[in-house]
Amino acid sequence: MATMNMIQALNSAMDVLLTRDPNVLIFGEDVGFFGGVFRATEGLQKKHGLERCFDTPIAEAGLIGISVGMAAYGLRPIVEIQFADYIYPAYDQIVSEVARLRYRSAGQFTAPITIRSPYGGGIFGGQTHSQSVEALFTHVAGLKVVIPSNPYDAKGLLIASVEEDDPVVFLEPKRIYNGPFDGHHDRPVSPWSKHPASEVPDGHYRVPLGKAAVAREGSDVTVLAYGTMVHVVLAAVEEAGVDAEVIDLRTLWPVDIEAITGSVRKTGRCVIVHEATRTSGFGAELSALVQERCFYHLEAPILRVAGWDTPYPHAFEWEYFPGPARVAAALKRTMEA
């Protein structure tokens, strides 16, 4: 066991994977010598060799394209897209190729590719370093989408994703790389070392895909969240004084439907929280699922707290970011309904 922040946990996962499987290789913009702009691959090139962890041209479509070819040869690429905001040039390769390869070739070819990318706001990154892109991928048949919320899960989920035979879009909430930010931007952020989930085994372990975690047990209302928002929700729950059950989805798709329906049937209320823009966000899918499966248990309308339907604005970071005050207000509203 060691104490790790999220970057260290991800680094440790990739170190383990490179060591165990000679077919694993890592590439992306600035990931080689420099170790990535967030330092997630620091030291891996030095330790495992130039060919195992290397820099690529700035061409996201090319990055995903070559990873399909490599996967067809039997390799297991881990591709870093420097910011999720820069994944769009690769969208055709991901949607039309990576996601459908197994289906269209009747299983002759598969794409066991893991696409890692930092996403989300809270860092004054403006429009092009803050976006939450998950719904663009949950919408696509054939992709798994994973978002960890702490170092322990980050490592276990990344190992499980890379060992998974289907392609995984692995989105990393960059705001919590160094500590569990709860949305109170005016307070100092406590480091991961003070959080129990920073205890991370050194070796190999998996956190299974498709399994949510209960971040807080409660009986009044179920809150569905993932990534940074798990911590924001936990803070908001305390402030609202509501006995909420907080579910950290961890895998967005295929989502842990049992965990969701089990909890909502118990509490009778549901609030969904994400940073991404509200319209057609992943919350819309969750809301539909809950409505379809738990309608007769619901005592209040399902509420969504999400980013506004605007591009992510630089100067209005905290007016945009759905912080604890907005989440707490929704919790109170749902309890009053």
Partner 1 sequence: MTSSPHPLRPNALSLRIPEPKARPGEKLDFGNLRLSAAGEVARPPVDIDHTEIRDLAYRLIRVLDDDDRALGPWAPGLSVEALKRGLRSMMLTRAFDERMYRAQRQGKTSFYMKCRGEEAVAVAQAEALSPDDMCFPTYRQQGLLIARGYPLLEMMNQVLSNEQDPLKGRQLPVLYSAREFGFFSISGNLGTQFSQAVGWAMASAFKNDRRVASAWIGDGSTAEGDFHHALTFASVYRAPAILNVVNNQWAISSFHGIAGDNDSPFASRATGYGLPALRVDGNDFLAVYAATRWAVDRARANLGATLIEHVTYRAEGHSTSDDPSQYRPVEEAAGWPLGDPVARLSRHLIAIGEWSDDAHAALEKELVELVRATARQSEAIGTLATGSKPSVREMFEDVFKEMPWHIREQRQELGI
Ligand X SMILES: Cc1ncc(C[n+]2csc(CCOP(=O)(O)OP(=O)(O)O)c2C)c(N)n1
Per 3-state DSSP, the chain is made up of helix, strand and coil in percentages (nearest 5) of: 40, 20, 40
DSSP-derived letter for residue 36 is -
Q: Which is nearer to partner 1, 44 or 200 (CB)?
A: 44
| Residues 132-171, interacting with partner 1 (CB under 8 A) | none
Q: With contacts defined by CB under 8 A, name the span among 101-109, 127-135, 250-258, 282-290 that binds partner 1.
A: 127-135
Residue 116 CB burial class (10 angstroms; 0-12, 13-18, ≥19): buried
* 86 lines the binding site for ligand X (CB under 6 A): yes
* 29 lines the binding site for ligand X (CB under 6 A): yes
* Euclidean distance between CA atoms 208 and 135, whole angstroms: 21
Residue 30, SS3 per DSSP: coil
Q: Which does 56 bind (CB under 5 to 8 A by kind): partner 1, ligand X, none?
A: partner 1
* Euclidean distance between CA atoms 202 and 210, whole angstroms: 23
CA torsion sign for 112, 117, 120, 126 is: negative
- Catalytic-role residue among 48, 129, 195, 274: 129
Q: Which is nearer to partner 1, 66 or 298 (CB)?
A: 66
Compute CA distances 274 → 243, 289, 324, whole Å: 20, 16, 12
The 10 Å Cβ neighbour count of residue 20 is: 14
Does the active-site annotation cover 231? no
Work out which of 118, 120, 125, 180 binds partner 1, going by CB under 8 A: 125
| Residues 21-50, interacting with partner 1 (CB under 8 A) | 29-30, 32-34, 37, 50
Q: Which is nearer to partner 1, 299 or 309 (CB)?
A: 309
Q: Which is nearer to partner 1, 292 or 319 (CB)?
A: 319
| Residues 310-329, interacting with partner 1 (CB under 8 A) | 310-311, 313-316, 319-320
* Euclidean distance between CA atoms 281 and 206, whole angstroms: 28
- Nearest-approach distance from CB 94 to ligand X, in angstroms: 14
DSSP-derived letter for residue 96 is I
* 82 lines the binding site for ligand X (CB under 6 A): yes
> Residue 53 forms beta bridges with which residues?
26
| Residues 187-206, interacting with partner 1 (CB under 8 A) | none
Structure tokens that stand for 168 in this block = 């995984």
Q: Please report how many Cα atoms fall inside a 13 Å half-sphere around the Cα of residue 90, on the Cβ side.
A: 30
Instruction: Please identify the residue of the shown chain whose CB is closest to the bound ligand X.
Output: 86
Site residues, ligand X (CB under 6 A): 29, 58, 82, 86, 89
Residues binding partner 1 (CB under 8 A): 29-30, 32-34, 37, 50-51, 54-62, 85-86, 88-89, 124-129, 278-279, 308-311, 313-316, 319-320
The catalytic residue positions are 129
